[in-house]
Structure 1
Amino acid sequence: MFKQMILSIALMGLTAPLHAAQLVDLVNPEFQIPCKDGPDDMVTGMPGLISELSDVKCTTYGQILTAPEGFIWKIAGTHNGAMSLLAQNGVDEINEVGNKAYFISIEGKQLSYDEIVNVFDTKLSDVLLQKTKEQILAQQAELIEITAINNKNLTQNVYIFMIKKYTLGFVCTPKCIKWAFTIEDSPL
């Protein structure tokens, strides 16, 4: 079903290359590599608006967009499944490429009410039930859109709703994935 690996869930006995059906916890320190060895146009920091919601890390499988230090994008309904967005998305097979798969641009913006409705209608129409959309709008949720462009010019998005005391996020590569995530304290 998926042509890209976008979720991170710990698996034992990982071997390269990764296939679309395999999921691995790339936030795990064993996969992390220094970003300082990457290309000059590699994004290595997050803009102010989204720095409290996301971070970029370098891994043996390319750069990932994930939760900030001390937190995880926890897949809703799982014990400790963590979500991340890979710069290497857009390929059939995820390989160990180090800093050869990276983001050249990461930007964030807070969307207006009309823009939120547009995201519901265009991006999240297959992901959220109409009743859920109405509840989110009724609670006057704020929506942050993170747009990440990789070095192959693939545009991907992360949508993070801030609803009263919790968050609800979705990853779009560019099609939105049905699994939502929340931002929670990291168990590590």
Structure 2
Amino acid sequence: MKKALLLIATLFLFITSCSESKPAKLERDGVLITSPTGWEITDQENIDDQGYYLSIEKDGFDSSGIVTMTWINGEIDLGEWAYIFQEELTNNIIYRNSNIQFEDAVDDTYNNIDTSSIRFTASILGLDHEGNIHFFYKGNKTFAILIQEAMEDNVTNKPGFDLIEKGFKVQ
């Protein structure tokens, strides 16, 4: 009987841990972010009351979609911040041996906001990834939004990326 109860409890924990994350909204410093079903806000950090960082990741063991949002209160030069951001990625332990390659900045948009964006590619754990980093000013803040995925996951990640972008608002 004890073995049957243990098996049922283990099965219950497995099933509940595999369920998709529910939609979530976060409002911070006049910034509204929506995490859709199947995606989860996995990390948040107050940057010494000078800004904020968060990441939203697609659920699942074999999922690669991630969006990170960083904002700094006030305005800093976008070119300088793009350079610092690229240096931080290049020196980050995840990207250090990934052969990360950045393209030149181009004019772009994120949820109808004019941005400067930089595309990049990297090989992380032998899997080809691609990404885009948007830099812009909005609501007396300077933003960097990184969107990254394994190239093989772009079809499955697109709906989530689109919902996150549409749910992004700055007051």
Give the structure with the higher percent strand.
Answer: 2
Structure 1 and Structure 2 fold alike (TM over 0.5): no
Given the two structures, how large is their TM-score scaled by the length of structure 2? Answer: 0.30
The structure with the largest alpha-carbon Rg is: 2
Given the two structures, how large is their TM-score scaled by the length of structure 1? Answer: 0.28
Give the structure with the higher percent helix.
Answer: 2
